[in-house]
Structure 1
Amino acid sequence: MALSANLFLRQNQSLVMTPQLMQSIQLLQMTHLELTQFIAQEVEKNPLLELPSNDTEMGNERGGAEDETYPHQAADEPQDDGYDSRAEILSGDWYESGNSAGASRLSDELDANYANVFPDDGVPQRADAPELISQWKSMPGNGEGTDSYDLDDFVAGQISLRDHLAQQLPFVLPEMADRLIAQHLVDQLDEAGYLQGDAIEAADRLGASVHDVERVIVALQTLDPPGVFARNLAECLAIQLRQKDRFDPAMQALVSNLELLARRDFSTLKRLCGVDEEDLLDMLGEIRQLNPKPGAGFETGMSEAIMPDVVVRVGSDGGWVVELNPDTLPRVLVNQAYFAKVSKSGDDHAFLSECLQTANWLTRSLDQRAKTIMKVASEIVRQQDAFLMHGVDYLRPLNLKTVADAIKMHESTVSRVTSNKYMLTPRGLFELKYFFSVSISAVEGGDSHSAEAVRHKIRTLIMQESPDAVLSDDDIVDILKKGGVDLARRTVAKYREAMNIASSVQRRREKRALAKVAGF
C-alpha cells in the first residue's frame, strides 16, 4: 500500500478558555469586598481606568457626561467671581480714619477674617468631644472646609489575651524564672483560653521540674479572665466556681459528670450529688452563668457587615420589584480623552492599546455580571413568591437546574452567581443559596415540600410541646404525614440533630424538672 500526503478541510467547534474569559467567570462568584479590591488593583495598573468621584456622579445625574469619561468644563465658560458686587462696596465711603471700629467694619464689608492671616501656620483645632459636634456648631473641628477629626484618635486600642495576661504576671509570679515558664505557657493558649501544652513536655523543653511547672499553672489559673489556663471544660468551670466560692462537694460531683448533664440524666445526677431536684436545677442555673470560653472575648477578628446585592420590595401594583443595590455595584470609567491625547504622540501606542482593550473588557464584564445577578434574582423571586408573602412554611423546593433552564444559562453559572450573594426582602436578609433546598415527596402525589420548610415545621412542633406530651420522632413523623409530608423517622432524627435539638427522652426530663420547679 503506497503512502501519500492528502489535504482535508474539516470544520469543528471548540471552547477556548482565554484568560479574560476565565477572569470573567471568576468575577461572578466574587463578593463585594473581593470585587472592590480587584478593581482597585486594576485601576492601579491601568492608566486609562478611573474610579468615579462624587462630583462625577452628580454631573452624570444632572447633565450627563461623555461616554465613560469625566465631564469637562468648557474653557470659555463665564464664571461669576463676585467682582461687580465688590466694586460697589469699594465705591462707597467705607474707610474712616478716625473711627476705632474701622477694622471691624472693613472685615464685615469685605467678608474677611483677619484673626489669622496665615492659617497654614497655625495648629488645626481638634474636637474635644466628637460626639457633640452635631449639637454644638461652635466646637472646634466643626467648621466646613477645615480638617475633620480622626475618629481613630478616640478609639481605645484592642488588647490581646496574651497582653492582658502579661500585665498580671508580675503580681502573681515575683520570680523571674517562674515568669519565663509562664511566658511559655501563655504561648500555648488557644483562642478560647485553654492550655494546650502538657506540663511534662513544657518541663523538658524549659529544663525545669514538673513540680515547678504545675505550681506556675496553679498560679496562672487565678488570673483574669476566670477560667483561663484550664486543660478541659470541667477544670475551666471548676476554676470559676472556686473564685465564686461555690465549689462544694455537690457542685464538684456535678462538674465531674458533665456527660450525664449533657444527656439530661437528672436522676443519676441527683444520686451522685446527693441533692434533690430543686437544688440540682439551681446548680444547673449557676453552671449556665459561667463562661466556657474565657479567652473568646479577646479575639481581634474584624466583623464584616453584610451588604445585600439585591433588594426586593413590594411594588405599587402588588407585585415584587427586584433591584440591584447601587452600593454594591462598583463603577469604573475609561478615560477616552486621555487615550486620544497620549496616543497622538506615537510613543507606547501598543501599551495604551492593550490598556484600552483591558479597560473595555472590564466594563463589559462588570455590566454582564450585574445583568446575570439580576436575571437569577428575578427568577428566584418568581419561584419563591409564596415564601415572600406567607413565610418559610411556603418555601418551595428549588434546584439550580430549574433556575438555569428558566434563564437559559448553565447550572455552574447560577451556582457562581448565588455564591456569597445576599438578597434583602421584606422578610429579612437571606443568602441566595437559602432559596435552594432539596425536595421532599408528599403523601399521595401531592405537592412536594422544601427541606427547609420541613425543618421549620419540626422545630415549631417541638417548641409547642408540653412537659406531659413530649413528641418522639415517630410522633413527629405521624403529624407530618397528616400534614402531607412523607418523611422517614431517620430523616426526622437527622434534621433534629442538625438543629441541636435533644432527643425526646432528654427533653422530657428537662421540661418535667423545670415544670416542677415552676409549680406547674
Structure 2
Amino acid sequence: MALAAKLQLRQSQSLVMTPQLMQSIRLLQLTHVELERFIDEEIERNPLLERAEAQDETGGDQPPKSEAAPEPTPEGDWFEAETEWSAEAISEKLDSSLENLFPDDPGTSERLGPDLTAQWKSASGGSAGGASSEGFDVGEMAATAVTLREHVSEQIALAFPTPAERLIAGELADSLDEAGYLRADLEEVAARLGAGKAAAARVLDVCQTFEPTGLFARDLAECLSLQLAVRDRLDPAMKALVANLELLARRDFQTLKRICGVDEEDLLDMLAEIRALDPRPGTAFSGGASDAIIADVEVRAAADGSWTVELNADTLPRVLVDHIYFARVSGHAKDQAEKEFLAECLQNANWLTRSLDQRAKTILKVASEIVRQQDAFLVHGVRHLKPLNLRTVADAIGMHESTVSRVTANKYMLTPRGVFELRYFFTASIASAEGGEAHSSEAVRDRIKQLIDEEKPADVLSDDAIVDMLRESGVDIARRTVAKYREGMSIPSSVQRRREKRALANAGR
C-alpha cells in the first residue's frame, strides 16, 4: 500500500474552557463575602465597572456632577463661615449648662468647663462645626474588646517589680493559646532568656494566680486544680479525682469511688463541683465578633398555601457598565493599544454582568426545586425531610449535576423553620422496612436522638433496641448505622449513659 500526503477538512465539536467560562463557573460557588471581594477587585481593575448605587444617587444614566465650590471666605473667618458655633460660644453654652446642673455650686463650671471644652474639641477632631459631624460614626467610639494578651499584660505590670521577672512573664504570656493554656516548655523559656529554671518556675507560680483563675495551666488537670485551690476544695479526694479525668470521661464511677475513697453521695458532690469549673478560662478574651450568616434565598408562605422563593436583595451585587464613560474615553484614544484595552474592558464588564445575572437565576432555580422537593419538611419539620440527591435536582431543572453542586456550596436558605445550608436538604436514603417510601438519614438521626432523650435511667436503650424500635416504625437500618449516627451526634454508648443517668437520678433525690 502506497503512502501519500493528503489534505483533508474535518468538522468537529469540542468544549473549550475559555477564561470567561471558567470565571462564570467560579462565580457559582463563591459565597456572598467572596463575591463582594471579587467584584471589588474587578472594579479596581476595570474602569468601566461601577457599583449601581453610584448611579442611583445621581439620578440614573447621568454621571455624577461635581458640587459647586463654596465661595472663598476671608482668611481667619473660615470657622465662623462653616458654622455659627465658635469656640467661645461653645464654652459659654457649657458654662451655662453646668450652672443649670449644679446650681448650688457656681464654681463647678469654672473647674469643669475648660476640661469639658477640651474633651469636646478632641472628640470632634478639633472642629466644632456641624459639617464635621457628618462623618461621625458611633461605632468608632465603642470600646474595643480586650484580648487575652492585653488582659495578662496589665496583671504582669502589677505583679512583678523587676524587669527580669516581667520579661519572663511576658515570654510565658506569648505562649498562651486561645484557651489560656501554657504551650511552651518552662526549661526552654528559661534557657532562651538566660534565666534559671527556678526563677522561671517562681514567675509561673505567680502567673497562675492571675484572673481568671486557671490561666497558665499546662493541662486540663492543672487548670481544674488551680480553680479548686482558690475555692479551698483541693483535698486529697479531689486531687485523686482530677488525676483520673480519663475515668471521669468514661463515666467509670465505681472505679472513681474506690480511688478517691468516697461513697456515691460524696462523689456526686465532687462531680457537681467539677462541672462548675471553667476548663477554658481564656476563651472569654479570644472570641472576636462572629460573622453572621446571610441567607442567599428567602422562603415565605404564600396566601394560596404555596411557597414564595426569592433571592435576598442584600446578597445581590449591583454592578453596572458605564457606557457613557466608554463612549467619551474611546473617542480620545491615542493609539491602537488604548482602543484594544478599552474594548477588552468593555467585553469583560459585559461578561461579568451577564455572569452575575446568570448566577442569580441559577441559584433561584435550584432553590425553587429544593423547596418543591422538600415541601413536607417546611410544613411538618425534620421528620418529613425526604431523601434527595444532586442528580434528582439536576434532572428536574435541566442542569448538570456539577452545576447544582457548585450552586449549593456555602449558600444558605431562610425558611420559616430557620436558616439552613442548601446542602442540608440533600440527605442519604434509608430503605423502608415495609417496602414503602424511603426515609431521610437526617430524619432518622432526629428519631434516634428523640429515643435517647426520652429513655429512663432504669431502661437505657442499647443500639440493638434502637434498631428494633426503628424497624417497628418502618425504618430498615443496621446496628452499625445506628452506632455511626449516635457517635456523630456525640452521644455516648448505652453503658456510659446508664452510669450518668443513674448518677444524676441519685443526685436529684
Deviations 1:46-100 (A, max 9, x none): 22111122771796xxxxx5xxx45899xxxxxxxxxxxxxxxxxxxxxxxxxxx
Read off the aligned partner of 1:482 and give its amino acid letter.
Answer: E
User: Are 1:278 and 2:268 matched, yes or no?
Assistant: no
Corresponding residue for residue 384 of structure 1: 374
5+ residue gaps, structure 1, are: 60-64, 74-114, 129-139
Per the TM alignment, residue 300 of structure 1 is displaced from its structure 2 partner at its CA by 5.0
CA RMSD of aligned residues (A): 2.6
User: Are 1:119 and 2:109 matched, yes or no?
Assistant: no
Note the 1:227-306 alignment, pairs <5 A.
Answer: 227-299=214-286, 301-306=288-293
Read off the aligned partner of 2:387 and give its amino acid letter.
Answer: P
User: Are 1:417 and 2:404 matched, yes or no?
Assistant: no
Instruction: Give me the whole-angstrom Cα distance separating, in 2, the residues matched to 1:339 and 1:407.
Output: 38
- Change in Cα spacing, 1:446 to 1:70, as seen in structure 2 (3 Å) is farther
Per the TM alignment, residue 379 of structure 1 is displaced from its structure 2 partner at its CA by 0.7
Q: If the length of structure 2 is used for normalisation, what is the TM-score?
A: 0.84
Corresponding residue for residue 454 of structure 1: 444
Instruction: Give me the whole-angstrom Cα distance separating, in 1, the residues matched to 2:288 and 2:64.
Output: 44
Residues 428-437 or 285-294, more deviating:
285-294
Per the TM alignment, residue 41 of structure 1 is displaced from its structure 2 partner at its CA by 1.6
User: Are 1:354 and 2:318 matched, yes or no?
Assistant: no
Q: Secondary structure at the match of 2:348?
A: helix
Answer whether contact 2:83 2:129 (CA < 8 A) is retained: no
Corresponding residue for residue 434 of structure 1: 424
Read off the aligned partner of 2:392 and give its amino acid letter.
Answer: T
Instruction: Give me the whole-angstrom Cα distance separating, in 1, the residues matched to 2:191 and 2:258.
Output: 43
Q: Secondary structure at the match of 2:309?
A: strand
Deviations 1:226-253 (A, max 9, x none): 1111111011110111112221222111
Q: Secondary structure at the match of 1:168?
A: helix
Corresponding residue for residue 29 of structure 1: 29
Instruction: Give me the whole-angstrom Cα distance separating, in 1, the residues matched to 2:129 and 2:410.
Output: 40
Q: Secondary structure at the match of 1:193?
A: coil
Deviations 1:152-172 (A, max 9, x none): 342112222122212211333
Residues 337-346 or 348-357, more deviating:
337-346
5+ residue gaps, structure 2, are: 66-78, 95-123
Q: Secondary structure at the match of 1:467?
A: coil
Corresponding residue for residue 463 of structure 1: 453
Read off the aligned partner of 1:385 and give its amino acid letter.
Answer: D
Aligned length: 457
Corresponding residue for residue 360 of structure 2: 370
Note the 1:73-112 alignment, pairs <5 A.
Answer: none
Per the TM alignment, residue 179 of structure 1 is displaced from its structure 2 partner at its CA by 2.2
- Change in Cα spacing, 1:447 to 1:248, as seen in structure 2 (3 Å) is same
Q: Secondary structure at the match of 1:430?
A: strand
Read off the aligned partner of 1:168 and give its amino acid letter.
Answer: Q
Instruction: Give me the whole-angstrom Cα distance separating, in 1, the residues matched to 2:283 and 2:348.
Output: 46
Instruction: Give me the whole-angstrom Cα distance separating, in 2, the residues matched to 1:31 and 1:338.
Output: 31
Instruction: Give me the whole-angstrom Cα distance separating, in 2, the residues matched to 1:469 and 1:371.
Output: 53
Answer whether contact 2:463 2:482 (CA < 8 A) is retained: yes
Instruction: Give me the whole-angstrom Cα distance separating, in 1, the residues matched to 2:472 and 2:221.
Output: 45
User: Are 1:184 and 2:148 matched, yes or no?
Assistant: no
Q: If the length of structure 1 is used for normalisation, what is the TM-score?
A: 0.83
Corresponding residue for residue 14 of structure 2: 14
User: Are 1:172 and 2:162 matched, yes or no?
Assistant: no
Residues 267-276 or 15-24, more deviating:
267-276
Read off the aligned partner of 2:49 and give its amino acid letter.
Answer: L
Choose from 182, 206, 210 the match for 1:219: 206
Per the TM alignment, residue 343 of structure 1 is displaced from its structure 2 partner at its CA by 2.0
Choose from 481, 484, 487 the match for 1:491: 481
Deviations 1:165-187 (A, max 9, x none): 12211333323222222222222
Corresponding residue for residue 303 of structure 2: 316
Instruction: Give me the whole-angstrom Cα distance separating, in 2, the residues matched to 1:279 and 1:188.
Output: 38
Read off the aligned partner of 1:375 and give its amino acid letter.
Answer: K
Instruction: Give me the whole-angstrom Cα distance separating, in 2, the residues matched to 1:307 and 1:152.
Output: 21
Deviations 1:102-150 (A, max 9, x none): xxxxxxxxxxxxx95542995799xx9xxxxxxxxxxx99989952532
Corresponding residue for residue 394 of structure 1: 384
Corresponding residue for residue 503 of structure 2: 513
Deviations 1:324-355 (A, max 9, x none): 11111011111112222222234332222111
Q: Secondary structure at the match of 2:212?
A: coil
Instruction: Give me the whole-angstrom Cα distance separating, in 2, the residues matched to 1:451 and 1:14.
Output: 40
Deviations 1:426-460 (A, max 9, x none): 11100001001111111142211111111100000
Note the 1:27-66 alignment, pairs <5 A.
Answer: 27-53=27-53, 56=56, 65=60
- Change in Cα spacing, 1:501 to 1:33, as seen in structure 2 (3 Å) is same
Choose from 209, 222, 230 the match for 2:196: 209
Read off the aligned partner of 2:491 and give its amino acid letter.
Answer: I
Per the TM alignment, residue 9 of structure 1 is displaced from its structure 2 partner at its CA by 1.4
Per the TM alignment, residue 201 of structure 1 is displaced from its structure 2 partner at its CA by 2.4
Residues 47-56 or 451-460, more deviating:
47-56
Read off the aligned partner of 1:396 and give its amino acid letter.
Answer: K
Instruction: Give me the whole-angstrom Cα distance separating, in 1, the residues matched to 2:163 and 2:82.
Output: 57
Answer whether contact 1:50 1:334 (CA < 8 A) is retained: yes
User: Are 1:408 and 2:398 matched, yes or no?
Assistant: yes
Answer whether contact 2:85 2:129 (CA < 8 A) is retained: no
Read off the aligned partner of 2:285 and give its amino acid letter.
Answer: F
Answer whether contact 1:70 1:335 (CA < 8 A) is retained: no
Read off the aligned partner of 1:480 and give its amino acid letter.
Answer: L
Read off the aligned partner of 1:351 and give its amino acid letter.
Answer: F
- Change in Cα spacing, 1:122 to 1:379, as seen in structure 2 (3 Å) is farther
Identity fraction in percent? 62
Answer whether contact 2:428 2:440 (CA < 8 A) is retained: yes
Q: Secondary structure at the match of 1:147?
A: helix
Answer whether contact 1:240 1:290 (CA < 8 A) is retained: yes
Read off the aligned partner of 2:50 and give its amino acid letter.
Answer: E
Per the TM alignment, residue 282 of structure 1 is displaced from its structure 2 partner at its CA by 2.1
